[in-house]
Structure 1
Amino acid sequence: MRFPARFLDEIRLRVPLSQVVGRHVQWDRRRSNPARGDWWACCPFHHEKTPSFHADDRKGFYYCFGCHAKGDVITFLVEKEGLDFAEAVAQLAQEAGLELPQPDPHAERREEERASLHDVLELAARFYEMQLALPEGEAARVYVQGRGLSEETIRRFRLGFAPDARDALLQHLRKAGVEEALMAEAGLIAVPEDGGRPYDRFRNRLMFPIRDGRGRVIAFGGRALGEARAKYLNSPETPLFDKSRVLYNLDLARPVAFERGAVIAVEGYMDVIALDQAGFPHVVAPLGTALTEGHLALLWRMAAEPVLCFDGDAAGMKAAWRALELALPHLAPGHSLRFALLPEGMDPDDLVREQGAEAFAAVLEAARPLIDMLWHGLVDNRTFSTPEERARLEADLEALVMRIGDAKVRAHYLREVRSRLRDFWRGTGGAGAAGRSAFGGGGVRRRAGMAVHTGGKPRAGAMQARMLHAGGREAPSPGLISKARERDEAFREREILRIVLRQPEILDEVFEELAELPFSSPALDSLRGKILDIAAGHAGLDSARLLAHLQDEGAGADVVRLAGRAISPDRQEDKPDLDLRRALASFREHARQLRRTAVLERELQAAEQAFGKDPSEENLERILRLREELQAARRLAGE
């Protein structure tokens, strides 16, 4: 039986090589390093007294320096236990919890089609590379030169240019004998639903080939060089491209990551390329999506403790926290994450261009372990002045720790957080006022959501009392502020998506605006992303067509659950009584309020920090004014 390549890769991913080999050898504990997936033993294929057999869990291969036996986990079962290939695959599939694929007479043809798709995408990559060197590619060359990329880097990442023409690539591939159906399956062209002429999916864009672990082109990303609905556009998912299981630059980064035992994950193409050029070749990035379990599995194959690098703003902290929650069930001995936060307002590309590679190296050096992120994420900027608040912290910490799947790791985390809690309560006299932030700061204690400098002017305490009760206005606690903010943002975000779902015709005018709104709800943000992806690839959407596309992507339930009632064309009562002009006005008002709330939050945070440094009457008045404006904005949201 012939097994699909993806199925065999999944087996190799799920079943550690050391788990299978370990049934036949005694590992040399002095030379082995389990945390790095690095194992040594006397060879099971020939007699020896000194260990020369090496198994590498990250690479998935073994090699004996004595008899030169080598292979992967499947080869090992074939050569050591005498199984044939199909028997070895069946045994490993059972260990991995996978069902064997059913015999399929068309499987061989599908494998041939996949090979054809690789060929077509390679032709497209060469076309884009050629276009970058032509006069038509001047704008793209100016852009990459402005970003400081060398000719060597451009060649290394095979950057290209998609001409600003409707069907330049289509005509090129047609002359090469490629059928339009294959171009569409590869995600290179789009075919209008109304039967119109197909057109190139990427036009007037700087092109980034996306390669698999073997270096084969499987998709593209394109950065707009002029006016466009989306600044960045990725290929749609195809038989070769599943963005939840692909990391940009995996093929180039993996050998270096294996050698160094370290890998860095950042957010975008240009960050990867800039860091590679600056001397950090072991860097990868997800592709237009938040980190997934598939991405984590790939990262952990390269290093025991990958470093996730995020922007140092509120959005970056939220992304880091989502990654932490995603990783908890999969933590294992010697198998974790570290978190590096960049200076606020800078991404890795900015940092290395403006401050050099040393600045990014310092960010990596300051990366914190997962336990620190977990602790500070729940402790910082909260008050614990009552027994109930302290009990809530303990319950929150324990609930997160109990999500860890490995019993040993979970037990160590429980001991660690309980130890920290004892020290925390003892250090604060039981009040438990929050102290330092996860990545620096200090010298500030929190009361009722406000910062009070511990060594400031004597009148700070009186001002604090006035801040709490001035004019009969009692300041809400941080927890209430957070809940109010979440309710406000969720309301606005739901209303914005509801308008777009019912009147998608406005997307032609608000596409960029929708993409840039500061969404805070991960679920609503995910639905927003799906809508934008669909709109980028389909013109003339109405409500029924948009819903159909969302249902095809498995998001129909999200529409009902997150955006209100089902947007069904068959139910008259679900059709909005809004013309496009009113829908557009409503969208922009909600968007304006959402942005305004975000601005007020940032201004209030800055005001609190200023008050901590200088508890003056002027700074106090500013804080009170901003709080009133935030409360007014939330009342306007219907709270």
Structure 2
Amino acid sequence: MGYGRIPDEVIEAVLQRHDIADVIGKYVHLTKQGHYLKGLCPFHSEKSPSFTVTPEKQIYHCFGCGAGGNMFQFLREIEGYTFAEAVRHLAEEADIPVTWEESLSADNPQQKDRSKMLEANEKAAKLYRYILMNTDQGKNALDYVRNRQMSDKLIDTFQIGYAPAMWDTLVQQLQKAGYDLPLMERGGLVSARSEGDGYIDKFRDRVIFPIWDAQGKVIAFGGRALGDVQPKYLNSPETMLFNKSRVLYNFHQARPQIRKTNTMVLFEGYMDVVKAWEAGVRNGVGTMGTALTPEHAELIRRNAGRIVICYDGDSAGQNAAYKAIPLLEQAGCEVKVAMLPDAKDPDEYITAYGSERFVREIIDYAVPSIKYRLHYIRRHFRLQEEGDRIRYQQTALKMIADLSSIEREHYLKQLAGEFETSYESLKQDLANLRMKSEKNRTVRDNIDVPWNNGRHNRKETPKAPLYPAYHNAERQLLAVMMHDRDVSAYVEERLGDEFNVDAHAVLAAYLYAFYAQNSTPSVSRYMAMIQDDKLENLASSIAMMGAHHGVNEIVIDDFIKEIKKYPKQQEISRKKEEMIRAERSGDPLRAAQILSEIIALEKQLKFS
């Protein structure tokens, strides 16, 4: 059976040792309702719980957005794991030995390359750290780091190192260890020499910050130049391990505190994250100097309901914060912004004023996103001029219009008081704006920035589809097959792969394969075979239809007949169109011949 080459017995052991309600309960507050557990879906915004966990079947399904599957699929969706990573995570939690990686990578060239890159990155991180802490080459870099008020404990926590100025320090070590240098080039550790054969180190004369994935594996590096060299900061290039648009620096270490507080603090660079960590901000992550992306926002949304943006206080940092707000709010996060004075960055502020003041006056005093946005746009108006004051108030009203009624009143009073404008006139203008907006707004359960269990998504709840008869028959038949091995065998013999919906045919094929090696039905184990998000969502939706008590052989035969009728009905429709074309083209003999074919097909349908 295909589980991505993970041994069947490992999958079985993991499924036996874990209960899906416990796995999902770490992320979603579930309440018991009869045989089911219900909660607010972590994958889309909703006010009424439609996320359902069925302990009896060990599956989940959301009737709002259609997400569904077993515990492995849940972890893949919520954490971004691969199937193997989800299995490994649950296996390690249950103290089940993880022994399949070697056999997996041996037969899979891409997986083998990936494993070698991870090994080489780990080796490089240890080498850089050793050079910083234990060699004369690293003395200047160590002095620099310590002058930045970083303790040895902090250096150790973040595994900070130093890449010496020599051209090939790492190249020599990798060659001695037998690593393939062209692969190391693709992994971003070395570069091909421009003047001829051979390779040189990617990072030279830089303080090195290892970059980890969500599981704590080194996947890339960031280097800070010691001298007057551009760029000041250099990241590894994108590789099969590293995509900067999807990775947040320090996420693996910050995640426990993020989960505990449901809050993430977002910085721009490595040093800000490191210094903030020592200041007590243990839920801080960084975008490594790149702009926030929708992928970053989605990762943040999956792990935190609240986000504090703490970017540099200069113009560039504040512009970046302003642009990040709508991305995070569209993802469904509650956003605040920490405002740093005098164009300082977090590292400089902590150095100048200390950790306690940074937390108390900057992080804890972060302002709501609307307050920051109002403050930000003021820069574009000359408020000493009457015309600009009016235009600012009009712009501010448009921003306030989308807030809750309590927030609207609060900021409306502030606006009126600040400019000595009539509160009632501002309130009337706001009401007119909202009336225009309401005309263009559709009523739906998903609002723009709802509260939902601390997690959100941009997916909108789809309407329940109305399926044709053959489609419903296929779904109902698959639902029974998932719970009854004998019915699956009966359908395999009489219908085989003749399902009209391709996805249904694939699910049936997986069922036939599952029952070839399992005598007992298990929806969760069956889903572990599939390893395809869309198919698992579909399978969970069908499985939630239940085993159809009272279904007998006659009903099963009726389902099969309905499924087999559809191709003939389609053929009759095509023949009728063909007959019309023959009549219009002045070919009555051809039209009569087609009519006789239609009559024959209709008789077959009637007596089938």
TM-score when normalising by structure 1: 0.50
Check the 8 A contact 2:378/2:392 in 1, yes or no. Answer: no
Label 1:412 to 1:282 Cα distance change in 2 as closer, same or farther (>3 A): same
What amino acid is aligned across from residue 349 of structure 2 in structure 1?
Answer: L
Partner of 1:355: 353
2:342 to 318, 341, 344: 344
Equivalent AA in structure 1 for residue 109 of structure 2: R
| Residue pair 2:171, 2:190 contacting (<8 A) in 1 also | yes
Counterpart position of 1:246? 247
Alignment match of 1:424 (pick from 398, 401, 415): 415
Query: For each residue in 1:300-321, what CA deviation from the matched residue of structure 2 results, as whole angstroms up to 9, or x when unmatched?
Result: 3332111111233323321221
Alignment match, 2:476: none
Unmatched 5+ stretches in structure 1: 6-19, 28-35, 59-71, 402-409, 433-639
* Contact 1:187-1:237 within 8 A present in 2 as well: yes
2:171 counterpart residue number:
170
What pairs up with 1:25-44 in 2 under 5 angstroms? 39-42=29-32
Amino acid at match of 1:357: S
Say if 1:203 and 1:411 are closer, same or farther in 2 by CA, change over 3 A: closer
2:538 corresponds in structure 1 to none
Q: Which residue of 2 aligns with 1:138?
A: 139
1:131 touches 1:160 (CA, 8 Å); kept in 2?
yes
| 1:243–1:177 distance in 2 versus 1, CA, 3 Å | same
Q: Which amino acid aligns with 2:374?
A: W
Gap change, CA 1:425 and 1:281, over 3 Å in 2: closer
Q: Measured at CA, do residues 377 and 342 of structure 1 come closer, stay the same or move farther in structure 2, by a change above 3 Å?
A: closer
Give yes or no for contact 1:378–1:397 (8 Å, CA) kept in 2.
no
CA contact 1:386–1:431 (8 Å) conserved in 2: no
Q: State the 1:108 CA deviation.
A: 4.0
Q: Structure 1 residues 238, 324: closer, same or farther in 2, change over 3 A?
A: same
Structure 1 pair 327/413, CA: closer, same or farther in 2 (3 Å)? farther
1:159 and 1:74, CA in 2 relative to 1: closer, same or farther beyond 3 A? farther
User: What per-residue deviation string (whole Å, max 9, x for no partner) do you get for residues 327-354 of structure 1?
Assistant: 34333xxx31110011213222222222
Q: Gaps spanning 5+ residues in structure 2: where? A: 7-19, 44-50, 62-66, 84-104, 424-608
Counterpart residue identity of residue 424, structure 1: L
Query: Does the CA contact (< 8 Å) of 1:378 and 1:393 recur in 2?
Result: no
Distance 1:76 1:202, change over 3 A: farther
Structure 2 matches for 1:38-117, cutoff 5 A?
39-42=29-32, 79-80=58-59, 108-117=108-117
1:207–1:395 distance in 2 versus 1, CA, 3 Å: closer
Q: Kindly indicate whether the alpha-carbon contact (under 8 Å) linking 1:340 and 1:367 is maintained by their aligned counterparts in 2.
A: yes
Matched, 1:317 2:296: no
Partner of 1:259: 260
Q: Is the 8 A contact 1:308 1:340 kept in 2?
A: yes
- The AA in structure 2 aligned to 1:350 is E
Measure how far apart 1:239 and its partner are: 0.6
Tell me, in whole angstroms, the C-alpha distance in 2 between the residues paired with 1:112 and 1:326.
36
User: Cα deviations across residues 217-254 of structure 1 (Å, max 9, x unaligned)?
Assistant: 00001111234232211100111111111111111111
The 2-side partners of 1:366 and 1:166 are apart by 47
1:325-336 matches, within 5 Å, as 325-331=326-332, 335-336=333-334
CA contact (8 A) 1:221 1:234 kept: yes
Kept in 1, the 8 Å contact 2:168–2:200? The answer is: yes
Distance change (3 Å), C-alpha of 1:385 and 1:257: same
Per-residue deviation, 1:422: 7.1
Mark the CA change 1:415 to 1:43 in structure 2 (over 3 Å): closer, same or farther.
closer
Pairing of 1:180-579 with structure 2 (within 5 A): 180-192=181-193, 195-331=196-332, 335-361=333-359, 362-379=361-378, 381-383=381-383, 390=390, 394=394, 398=398, 412-413=403-404, 416-417=407-408, 420-421=411-412, 424-425=415-416, 428=419, 430=421
**In structure 2, distance between residues paired with 1:378 and 1:346:** 20
Q: For CA contacts below 8 A with separation 6 or more, give which structure has more relative contact order.
A: 2
Decide whether aligned partners of structure 1 residues 391 and 269 sit closer, same or farther in structure 2, where only a CA change above 3 A counts: closer
* Pair 76,165 (structure 1): closer, same or farther in 2 beyond 3 Å: farther
Amino acid at match of 1:343: P
| CA deviation after TM superposition for structure 1 residue 368, in Å | 0.5
Deviates more, 1:164-173 or 1:369-378: 369-378
Shift of 1:93: 12
Q: 1:197 to 1:120 in 2, by over 3 A?
A: same
- Residues in 2 aligned to 1:377 and 1:321: alpha-carbon distance in whole angstroms: 8
1:566 aligns with: none
8 Å contact kept, 1:311–1:344: no
Query: What's the secondary structure of 1:338's corresponding residue?
Result: strand
Equivalent position of 1:585 in the other structure: none
**C-alpha distance 277-378 of structure 1, shift in aligned 2 (>3 A):** closer
Contact 2:329/2:335 (<8 A) preserved: no
C-alpha distance 148-423 of structure 1, shift in aligned 2 (>3 A): closer
How many angstroms apart in 2 are the aligned matches of 1:388 and 1:259?
Answer: 45
| Structure 1 residue 45, shift from structure 2 partner | 7.8
Q: 1:278 to 1:193 in 2, by over 3 A?
A: same
Alpha-carbon distance in 1 for matches of 2:313, 2:181: 45
Q: Which residue of structure 1 lines up, in the alignment, with residue 128 of structure 2?
A: 128
Three-state SS of the structure 1 residue aligned to 2:137 is helix
Quote the Cα distance in structure 2 between the aligned partners of 1:195 and 1:43: 70
Give CA-to-partner distance per residue, 1:1-34, whole Å, 9 cap, x none: 66799xxxxxxxxxxxxxx989xx9x9xxxxxxx
Distance 1:426 1:301, change over 3 A: same
CA distance in 2, matches of 1:91, 1:277: 36
Larger radius of gyration: 2
Contact 2:35 / 2:54 at 8 angstroms: preserved in 1?
A: no
Root mean square deviation of aligned Cα:
4.6
The offset of 1:413, in angstroms, is 5.0
Shift in Å at residue 281 of structure 1? 1.8
Contact kept? 2:59, 2:70, Cα under 8 Å: no
Letter in 1 for 2:262: G
Instruction: Report if the CA contact (8 A) 1:384-1:431 is conserved.
Output: no
Q: Deviations over 1:15-57 (max 9, x none)?
A: xxxxx989xx9x9xxxxxxxx96514239889xxxx9x99995
Q: Kindly, what percent of the aligned residue pairs are identical?
A: 32
Conserved in 1, the CA contact under 8 Å of 2:245 and 2:293? yes
Summarize deviations over 1:499-526 as a string: whole Å, max 9, x none. xxxxxxxxxxxxxxxxxxxxxxxxxxxx
1:118 aligns with 2:118: yes
